[in-house]
Chains A and B, each alone.
Chain A
């Protein structure tokens, strides 16, 4: 294990241990009902973090194939959550079946194969043209434009965007590509965690109550700055200089904000609080990867354009 990675692993484990111990102590002290509910949710989140760190860390450690397959499974679950909440008509059955069982597997197979050129256009060109074309065969024109957009948006968010995270493994920047993935995920997720922490500690001004009621301006700024600082500290995982790492982290954090907002806006539009239930305390997979949907493609393209050999 190289130096910076050892630091990351040690730090993550330390944070989890501290969070678990703090949660245990707080749970004993919690007085009223509301505080107890908050602590209960906090502890559920921490427990889930242990599992997520173990699963993702294990997959990355096992290698590129395992990591890509894990993300394929996450995409599948995210897409299931998307379509469980999003209404569809009988005429969309074929397009949805193909989204899950043909488009998603082909896209990830292209990544496994390392065929970047086709992987980058397969969904946004071919799937986007073919699926609406096949839907016309059902003869149902009601809400056709909106229905096609939903099919496309579902694939774009849950499959195409998210897949840019494991696609980092295809990049040759002169440093181990798995560390780029670790870097992206640590900065994105810690940005979310610290937004939550700062928001709970000093949050006052609601940022966008109509979209995401719990997000505050103080949380956004505090969480964003903390995540950028962590991004600078971890520059050793990447080919970036400390200053470059600050810039790249700022992009990741900003994109992550908007990923979270856009997914929240869709959730509100569909009248749901959480996307799913598979991750205790967090909701669904889509609740956890929402910031990644926007941050991963940007991070991928910046790194690929400026730093690949």
Chain B
């Protein structure tokens, strides 16, 4: 039953936002990976998940903000059961790693999808990446980091709008990057952000 609902959910997303995958720099693979994408709207999590082929999707857990996806029972169910998401607190208790639950998923050998901007930018410009991606990369140096660029999401569902315009969203998957030996945090985050920007059209 859950499998059927998941399938219907993915079909609905594909119908609404196209969710086309464009494998630019790597091929779809069930190998453990960390996908990181630009944040365009609340639809971005579902758009990337719908773009992934099923064998990859079932091993990939999107990391989503609890303050949005945990807001009510329906959203929470869609996130946790429908999308296999791990919910995190964007404003955690002091001393706790907000990405702790995501690291736990990686420990189990699964892939994750994260949005390093942390919050949706207001305009077309992509925001700076937060430190979480660097912490994860340092802790799991053997896992490939795959940049993902989502286009058109701001047009499909702009911030503050409830109306969806069902134009095509393409998810572009770039070449893997890794944290280099001796690379500092800022340089790595800028390079990661640039690898997503390089995928624009």
Contact = CB atoms under 8 A, between A and B. Distances in A.
Interface of A: 76, 80-81, 83-84, 88, 90, 93-94, 96-97, 100, 276-277
Contact of A276 (B163, B164, B168): B168
Given A80-B18, A88-B155, A93 B168 contact: no
B168 A97 contact: no
B165 interface: yes
Given A80-B18, A90-B158, A96 B168 contact: no
B163 A97 contact: yes
B158 A93 contact: yes
Contacts of B164: 97
A-B residue pairs, 10 tightest by C-beta? A97-B163, A84-B167, A96-B165, A84-B168, A83-B167, A93-B163, A80-B167, A100-B166, A93-B161, A80-B166
Contact of B168 (A81, A90, A100): A81
Nearest to B159: A90
B42 interface: no
A84 B17 CA distance: 10
26 contacts: A76-B166, A80-B166, A80-B167, A80-B168, A81-B168, A83-B165, A83-B167, A84-B18, A84-B152, A84-B167, A84-B168, A88-B155, A88-B165, A90-B158, A93-B158, A93-B161, A93-B163, A93-B165, A94-B163, A96-B165, A97-B163, A97-B164, A97-B165, A100-B165, A276-B168, A277-B20
Nearest to A94: B163
Majority secondary structure of chain A interface residues (helix, strand, loop or mixed): helix
Interface string B150-187: 00100100100101111110000000000000000000
Nearest to A100: B166
A111 B41 CA distance: 36
Nearest to B22: A277
Interface in B1-57: 18, 20
A76 B165 CA distance: 11
Contacts of B152: 84
Interface string B137-159: 00000000000000010010010
Given A80-B18, A88-B155, A93-B163, 11 more contacts: A76-B166, A81-B168, A84-B152, A93-B158, A93-B161, A93-B165, A94-B163, A96-B165, A97-B163, A100-B165, A277-B20
Interface residues of B, number: 12
Nearest to A99: B165
Contacts of A276: 168
A97 B163 CA distance: 6
A264 B18 CA distance: 23
A19 B68 CA distance: 54
Contacts of B158: 90, 93
Contacts of A94: 163
Nearest to B169: A84
Contacts of A76: 166
A96 B167 CA distance: 10
A93 B161 CA distance: 8
Contacts of A88: 155, 165
Residue from A81, A88, A90 with most neighbouring chain B CB atoms (10 Å) = A90
A277 B168 CA distance: 10
A205 B134 CA distance: 59
A186 B167 CA distance: 30
Contacts of A81: 168
B164 to A, nearest CB: 7
Nearest to B15: A76
Contacts of B20: 277
A286 to B, nearest CB: 12
A236 B168 CA distance: 42
A307 B52 CA distance: 52
Contacts of A97: 163-165
Nearest to A87: B155
B72 to A, nearest CB: 23
B171 to A, nearest CB: 13
Residue from A76, A80, A81, A88 with most neighbouring chain B CB atoms (10 Å) = A80
Contacts of A83: 165, 167
Contacts of B165: 83, 88, 93, 96-97, 100
Nearest to B151: A84
A97 B161 CA distance: 11
Contacts of B18: 80, 84
B186 to A, nearest CB: 33
B179 to A, nearest CB: 34
A76 B168 CA distance: 12
Contacts of B163: 93-94, 97
